[in-house]
Amino acid sequence: MFGNSQAILEAVTDALDDLDLHYETDADDGVCFIDFHNGDPLIRSLHVVISVVDEGFIVQADISVKADLNDYELVTALTEFVCRVNLMIIGGAFYVDLNAGTIFFRSFVDCTGLESPSSDMVQRPVMFAVHYWKVIANGLGGILYGELSAEKALELCDFD
């Protein structure tokens, strides 16, 4: 690790402890791993990785997609849906990796000039990631399983 990253990693682990989350840390690489499990049939397990980088950290939350990603219409609807969702949210963006079969939410927190980030600076992007997955779950399911258009699937999302 380099620069201020050790202090950032300590702030990240302290903030995760405050949330009472079970997580694993690889201190050598400056990475924390969190798995959220719930009863949602589409998002049974959400994998969150917090990676400390020079002067900041990245929060990435992903799921594996269980769908035929060789289906042109499905992929078109899925990518359009992700673009439309990204217009509706703050604090990060969704991405699709068709080669890996994953969809992920990613945000970056810049800690330039700070000794370490506050607990809120760490907790907010982690909770945004979990929250936004819940927001889009029905719409995403409508595309992956219900053959909805991106526009119709967006109507199933609860952005309120």
Segments making up each domain of the chain, as ranges? 5-155
Band of residue 43 on the pLDDT scale cut at 50, 70, 90: low
Residue burial 120-153, b: 16+ Cβ < 10 Å; e: rest: ebbbbbbebbbebbebbbbbbbbbbeeebebeeb
The pLDDT tens digits of the residues spanning 53-87 come to 988 999 999 988 877 888 899 999 999 999 999 99
Is the whole-model pTM more than 0.85? yes
Task: Give CA–CA dist 82/98, Å, rounded.
Answer: 13
What's residue 121's pLDDT? 95
- Kindly state the percentage of the chain with pLDDT values over 90: 55
What's residue 38's pLDDT? 60
CATH of domain 5-155: 3.30.1460.10
What's residue 41's pLDDT? 59
